[in-house]
Structure 1
């Protein structure tokens, strides 16, 4: 059961990095992808329908961590409290900008929401970078030291991977003048190739973190896993099917701004 719990945690966590990481990266590059209000609205139109579905994977990851690895979850949250707070604040600011942008028909309001989306996305990506670097220094029964300059540089590198991941995703989703600009940014690599390369980088980052954590040693008792793992194995195919269906519905390029 411990191996199944680890596999489920990896599935949900890596799913979030691949899907949610693209939304975050596109938000980080919002001022670059959209040079005026209409173009930024087009980018947000591409992000908004998918970002909640992508965040479901993060919620599932947190649920598995809390239920199947309670000791590790407590140690990680207490040991990386500043990074977790930055992550949550950035997440709320970003989502607030995405939700609120189309609520008020005023240029200043939309500009403020664009700033919230971009700044929140950078905060989330940077916080994840800190979590990935810092978590490897944290184990059961101890709290890792504050990250030094080298760790902060690695965290910045992880944030850059998020940005390039969003750029590759934008190359597959955006059309019109914005799509042409993205094509110029990605060059001969192409949007799909860049997305595939950054997806591989995301997988390596996630797997590298998992390899450094004492997952099997911190798993819950057998009775808990005997209830939790079968329930997750039943739910997971439905989650994957819903995600695949959503991406199928959103498979076309976005060429006109929508409500957002």
Structure 2
């Protein structure tokens, strides 16, 4: 197997890691005004992701860095052409991260309410825009002979792109609700399970329409298998949730998101950014790749350091595996969440 193919697969795995892990972070933030009834329940929700959200975000940094190093032409076209939506995502993530860090610095309801708004907006906006971006990447965008994106923001806001944004938002919200149900106890746990069932049905309908549309647009045999498996995993997750098996329900949405993202990359391959202007202008794993020597060095670095990163992150999840409830939350202070 050529190293260009290996690195295309590795970048796909990085994005799968990001969306499956950061997806429930987004979901928790998105559902903050829906699930939490009072300040202690809001703090419970924050604390479910408090130990892990920053580690989850590392995946997108590594994915961007790997794209830059392994496929510089892809990186250049993507980050210049999608500059505005990516900037909006970055600003939203900054606001969200600031909310996590500064919300508890003052014992003031208005102060906390403002940071709650930042966390909610900072979760919803990326959840939608990532779907818009990846739907357009997989389906194709206008690229000229110089490998430059010739569209604008409104080019990306096409029906398929907008549907992709709704799908990721619905899946992340369902994923987040199941994570809250898995990590909490008491009334908020039961509300989260009930909400996950309703959200999951909406996500299932949107996801099936999107995956069929994408498959007809630019699919392959591999992407078809991945999309069907993703749909089955979502159904299995919803069935497990109804049976009260929250762990298996969370695994169901985790696998759903992983397979859906894998399906997009399988539909994309061997292109990395198809051109709707002329197929000859498309960026592929061959014409967008770095030199063979660069890819070889990157491969050795990945082999050495990836197990270390995965081991540390798995350890952090194990340490913070227990459920929390309002009984575990002390009274608000100027330095606590």
TM-score range, shorter-chain basis? over 0.9
Deviation at 1:29, TM superposition (A): 0.5
Structure 2 CA distance for aligned equivalents of residues 59 and 257 of structure 1: 32
Work out which of the residue numbers 173, 177, 183 in structure 2 matches 1:167.
177
TM-score by length of 1: 0.93
Give the alignment of 1:69-148 within 5 angstroms: 69-136=71-138, 137-138=140-141, 141-143=147-149, 145-148=155-158
Matched, 1:51 2:106: no
Deviation at 1:200, TM superposition (A): 2.4
What is the DSSP-based 3-state SS (H/G/I as helix, E as strand, rest coil) of the residue aligned with 1:54? helix
Instruction: Determine the structure 2 residue equivalent to 1:219.
Output: 289
| CA drift at 1:197 | 2.5
Structure number with bigger Rg: 2
The alpha-carbon distance between structure 1 residues 22 and 109, as it changes in their structure 2 partners (threshold 3 A), is same
Q: How far does residue 208 in structure 1 lie from its aligned partner after superposition?
A: 2.9
Q: Of the two structures, which has the highest relative contact order with CA contacts closer than 8 Å and spacing of 6 or more?
A: 1
Residue in structure 1 matching 2:307, options 212, 215, 237: 237
User: Which moved further from structure 2: 66-75 or 143-152?
Assistant: 143-152
Distance 2:191 2:307 in 1: 37
Structure 2 equivalent of residue 154 of structure 1 = 164
TM-score, normalised via structure 2 length:
0.72
Which of 202, 206, 209 in structure 1 is aligned with 2:257?
A: 202
Task: Check conservation: 1:174, 1:253, Cα contact below 8 A.
Answer: yes
Q: Could you tell me how far apart the structure 2 residues matched to 1:16 and 1:189 are? A: 28
Aligned partner of 1:192 among 234, 241, 247 = 247
- RMSD of equivalent CA atoms: 1.9
**CA distance, structure 2, for counterparts of residue 6 and residue 151 of structure 1:** 22
Q: CA deviation at 1:189?
A: 4.9
- Aligned residue among 248, 257, 260 for 2:329: 257
CA contact (8 A) 2:174 2:196 kept: no
Structure 1 window deviating more from structure 2 (137-146 vs 86-95): it is 137-146
Q: Distance in 2 between matches of 1:80 and 1:59?
A: 16
Given that residues 186 and 194 in structure 1 are in contact (C-alpha distance below 8 angstroms), is that contact kept between their aligned partners in structure 2? no
Q: Equivalents in 1 of 2:109, 2:316: separation in Å?
A: 31
Structure 1 runs of 4+ aligned residues shifted over 4 Å read none
Which of 44-53 and 7-16 deviates more?
A: 7-16
Does structure 1 conserve the Cα–Cα contact (< 8 Å) formed by 2:26 and 2:172?
yes
Deviation at 1:123, TM superposition (A): 0.7
**Separation in 1 of the partners of 2:5 and 2:160?**
33
